């Protein structure tokens, strides 16, 4: 893998701040889930309306992340990143002080608008400043953090709700983001020099997007990752019903049960990093294809009832998390590297596709439960089996670089 000279981002401080910034979106997506029933009760919001607070977040996020990428290519990474965090703080404060459904929805929309400026810009910033191995490492750790916050965020949210009320969740988000905002302002440099910026022109941008989508080095390589993120969205929609209703765990235990995902992601990240050094990107993808096919079989057996039980369910999810942790960072890095000079818009397009996949995954499980009469575990498992086959096929034929 050829590298440009000098990697100012290959430092512990830069890496730590990238992970802190990336955690804003991840913890913000799930910390308030244990508080949803209490919010609905106090603000007189129905369960269906409460679910809309998730929907609006996904829709706004996916809608604006591409624009954020264009702006970061044209005006630099840091201004876009700082603006996103500022909007996220404002949206969190509005949610915390909401006295009704409309204010809560507005706050969630503003949160999502701010959050949409963070992940794609952050990945482009890492791509600007870091070596290939460092980029894969950071993306791997961001995936691990995503799993970690599946455990930590609901536990933190449950404690905050119990001790201080539901609004404490959003005040925590505002304060945490403000601290990260200050650290970014003081310690993160601009990584996209003025001479390398691409002026924003709608027609030219549309052509660049079309070229990316038509390129196998972008779309085909990203195919397994898109499938994995759709499974992630399906899990978020189905897991509360599976773990809490089917198997009887409480909210805190539900959060703790997700430790298997963290273990899987850590193990997959470790194994993927070792394999990457020995076999390169293509080797990781070929092994990922075989592993995805094996996980598809396990999900199928779970979906038709041959396999059942809480630990069986968590074990299969943990194995999937390992495949995710090993494979996804390579695809995410390679698809951006294919358009290195336009990494801002490439990362934004990637983020839009992945967030859209998560939204469609959660929607598909909901439709399967409501209109096909499937219970949550069967809906999730069968949908995941199909997507694992898609991931296996695309990983087998693509050539990440």
The whole-number pLDDT of residue 143 equals 65
State how far the alpha carbon of 330 is from the alpha carbons of 17, 45, 130, 220, in Å: 21, 42, 15, 13
Tokens encoding 269: 């990240």
pLDDT the model gives residue 6: 53
**Within a 13 Å sphere around the CA of 23, how many CA atoms are in the beta-carbon half?**
23
How many Å apart are CA 154 and CA 210, to the nearest integer?
Answer: 39
Q: Averaged in consecutive runs of 10 residues, what is the pLDDT profile of the chain (401 residues)?
A: 50 76 81 78 76 77 81 84 95 95 94 89 77 72 66 79 89 95 87 71 79 87 92 80 80 75 85 86 89 96 94 95 89 81 75 82 78 87 96 89 68
Q: How many CA atoms lie within 13 A of 218 on its CB side?
A: 23
Q: For residue 326, give the nearest of 278, 284, 272 by alpha carbon.
A: 272
CA distances from 289 to 104, 151, 221, 333 (A): 42, 28, 12, 17
Q: Based on C-alpha coordinates, what's the Rg of the chain? A: 20
Q: 101-109 — which CB contacts under 8 Å span 24+ positions? A: 101/43, 101/45, 101/49, 104/39, 104/43, 104/45, 104/53, 105/52, 105/53, 105/56, 107/170, 108/53, 108/56, 108/57, 108/60, 109/56, 109/57, 109/60
Cβ proximity of 212 and 375 under 8 Å:
no
Backbone φ and ψ for 335, nearest 5 degrees, come out as -65, -35
Helix (H) or strand (E) holding 192: none
| pLDDT for 47 | 58
3-state helix, strand, coil in the chain (%, to 5): 85, 0, 15
According to the model, what pLDDT value does residue 147 have? 60
Pairwise CA distance, residues 157 & 137, whole Å: 29
At 95 the pLDDT is 96
Closest CA to 397 of 291, 282, 320, 294: 282
Distances (CA, A) of 48 to 54, 55, 206, 256: 11, 11, 37, 26
At residue 217, the pLDDT reads 84
Residue 130 and residue 89: Cα distance in Å, rounded? 28
Which domains, and CATH codes, for the chain?
A: 11-131+158-200 (1.20.1250.20), 212-401 (1.20.1250.20)
CA separation for the pair 88, 64 (Å, rounded): 13
Specify whether the CB–CB gap between 73 and 198 falls below 8 A: yes
The structure tokens 């369960």 sit at 47
Tens-digit pLDDT profile for residues 18-64: 888 888 887 887 788 777 778 888 998 875 576 677 778 877 888 88
> CB of 370 within 8 A of CB of 90?
no
CB neighbourhood size of 90 (10 A): 17
Q: Are 354 and 226 in contact (CB under 8 A)?
A: yes
Q: For residue 349, what pLDDT is reported?
A: 84
pLDDT tens digits for range 298-314 = 999 999 999 999 999 99
Residue pair 235/380 in contact (Cβ under 8 Å)? The answer is yes
The single residue listed with the structure tokens 């470790």 is: 270
Q: Using CA atoms in the order 183, 119, 11, 30, what is the torsion angle rounded to 10 degrees? A: 70
The answer to whether the predicted template modeling score (pTM) of the entire model surpasses 0.85 is no
Tell me which residue of 330, 344, 358 sits closest to 65, measured CA to CA. 344
């Amino acid at each position: 893998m050829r590298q440009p000279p000098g990697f100012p981002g290959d430092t512990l401080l830069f890496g730590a701040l990238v992970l802190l910034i990336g955690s804003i979106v991840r913890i913000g997506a799930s910390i308030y889930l244990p508080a949803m029933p209490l919010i609905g009760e106090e603000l007189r919001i129905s369960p269906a309306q409460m679910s809309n607070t998730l929907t609006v977040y996904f829709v706004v996020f996916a809608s604006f992340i591409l624009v954020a990428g264009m702006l970061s290519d044209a005006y630099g990474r840091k201004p876009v990143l700082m603006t996103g965090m500022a909007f996220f703080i404002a949206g969190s404060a509005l949610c915390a002080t909401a006295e009704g459904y409309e204010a809560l929805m507005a706050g969630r929309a503003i949160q999502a608008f701010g959050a949409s400026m963070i992940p794609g810009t952050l990945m482009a910033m890492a791509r600007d400043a870091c070596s290939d191995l460092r980029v894969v490492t950071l993306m791997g750790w961001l995936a691990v953090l995503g799993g970690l916050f599946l455990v930590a965020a609901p536990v933190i949210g449950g404690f905050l709700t119990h001790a201080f009320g539901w609004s404490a969740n959003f005040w925590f988000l505002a304060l945490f983001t403000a601290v990260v905002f200050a650290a970014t302002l003081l310690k993160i440099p601009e990584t996209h020099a003025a001479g390398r910026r691409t002026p924003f022109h709608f027609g030219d941008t549309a052509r660049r997007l079309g070229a990316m989508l038509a390129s196998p080095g972008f779309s085909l390589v990203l195919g397994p990752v898109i499938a994995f993120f759709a499974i992630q969205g399906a899990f978020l929609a189905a897991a509360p019903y599976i773990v809490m209703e089917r198997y009887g765990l409480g909210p805190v235990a539900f959060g703790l049960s997700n430790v298997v995902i963290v273990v899987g992601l850590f193990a997959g990240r470790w194994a993927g990093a070792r394999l990457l050094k020995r076999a390169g990107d293509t080797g990781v993808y070929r092994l990922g294809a075989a592993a995805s096919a094996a996980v598809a079989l396990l999900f199928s057996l779970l979906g038709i009832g041959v396999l059942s039980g809480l630990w069986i369910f968590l074990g299969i999810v943990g194995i999937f998390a390992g495949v995710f942790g090993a494979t996804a960072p390579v695809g995410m890095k390679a698809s951006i590297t294919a358009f290195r000079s336009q990494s801002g818009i490439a990362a934004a397009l990637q983020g839009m596709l992945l967030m859209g996949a998560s939204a469609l995954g959660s929607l598909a499980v909901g439709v399967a439960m409501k209109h096909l009469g499937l219970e949550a575990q069967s809906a999730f498992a069968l949908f995941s089996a199909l997507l694992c086959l898609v991931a296996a096929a695309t990983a087998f034929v693509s050539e990440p670089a």
